[in-house]
Amino acid sequence: MKALIKTLLVSTAVGVSASLNAQTVTVDPTTLTLGYMNWQPTAYTLANFPADGGTGSSAWGLSALQANFSGTTLTLQPNVNTYTPGNAYWNNPDGTGANQMDANIYNETTGTYVGVNLTFTADVISDTLAAPYSSFIFIKDFVNNYSSSTSTEVPLTLGVNTISLLTSANVGDHIQYGFETYGPDTNPASLAALESVVITPVPEPASLALLALGLPMFLIRRRK
C-alpha cells in the first residue's frame, strides 16, 4: 500500500512538473506583430535570366506581406508588394513573378519560453489559397546569434492546427512562432483569384467547457 501511495505521489509530482513546463500560445494581434520576407529567384528566372535574380531578406510590414488582422481574425494572401512590370529583378518578361517569396508573420521572445514544451494553436476557418501558394504554421528556436535553429513547421489545414516544440534551456535563445506563406510575387490584379487563408484563435478550454455545459441546458429548455 505504501509503495502504491509513493508511486501515486511521484506520478502526481511528474504530472505537475510537466504541466508547469508546458505553455500554449495562439493567434493574437497583440503578439503576432513582426513581419519578415525571404526571397530567391524562381526556376524560370534561374533558367533564363541568372544574372537578374538574387536572394534577399529583410523586415517587412504586415500589410506588405499580405498578412492582415481584422480584430482577432488573420488573413494571409500572396505577396503583391514587389510586383514591378519592367523590372527584371522582380518580374519575368512574361509578367510572372521572378522571385519565390517566403512571407513570415510572427512573434519573437527571448528568455520567456525556456526549456518548455511550447504549443502553438490556430483555427483555420477558410483555406481557398490557389496553387502554387501555400501557408504553414511554425515554431522556431534560434540560438543566441541566429546561426542555427531547431523548428517544427507543418502545412495549415482546415480546422484546429496544433504544433509543439520542446524549447532549449538556454535563456539566450530566440523563440519565434507564427505563419509562413510561400509562392511567387504576383500581379495585384490576380490577388482576388488567388484567394486566401483565414485564421482565428482556438477557443480557450474554459470557453469550450462553458459551451459544453450550456448545450444540455439549451436542450432542456427547448424540450420544455
Q: Please name the residues in contact with 48: beta carbons below 8 A apart, sequence gap of 6 or more.
A: 92
Q: Of 124, 157, 138, 134, whose CA–CA distance to 32 is shortest? A: 138
Distance of CA 25 to the CA centre of its chain: 11
Cell 523586415 -> residue: 59
Structural domain count of the chain: 1
Question: pLDDT by residue for the chain (224 residues), tens digit each?
Answer: 444 434 333 333 334 344 458 999 999 999 999 999 999 988 766 555 545 556 899 999 999 999 999 999 999 999 999 999 888 889 888 888 889 999 999 999 999 999 999 999 999 999 999 999 999 999 999 999 999 999 999 999 999 999 999 999 999 999 999 999 999 999 999 999 999 999 999 987 644 443 444 445 444 444 44
Quote the cell numbers at residue 88: 527584371
Predicted confidence at residue 86, as pLDDT, reads 87
For residues 33 and 75, what is the distance between their CA atoms, to the nearest angstrom?
14
Cα dihedral 24, 25, 27, 29 in deg (nearest 10) = 150
Strands, E assignment, the chain: 22-26, 34-41, 56-59, 67-70, 73-76, 99-110, 117-127, 134-142, 149-155, 159-166, 174-184, 197-200
Cα dihedral 120, 124, 125, 131 in deg (nearest 10) = 170
59, containing H or E segment: strand 56-59
Residue range of the domain that includes 122: 2-223
For residues 188 and 90, what is the distance between their CA atoms, to the nearest angstrom?
13
Strands, E assignment, 111-212: 117-127, 134-142, 149-155, 159-166, 174-184, 197-200
For residues 28 and 206, what is the distance between their CA atoms, to the nearest angstrom?
18
Predicted confidence at residue 49, as pLDDT, reads 53
61 burial via Cβ count (<10 Å: 0-12, 13-18, 19+): exposed
**Whether the Cβ atoms of residue 65 and residue 57 lie closer than 8 Å to each other:** no
Quote the cell numbers at residue 199: 485564421
Quote the cell numbers at residue 110: 527571448
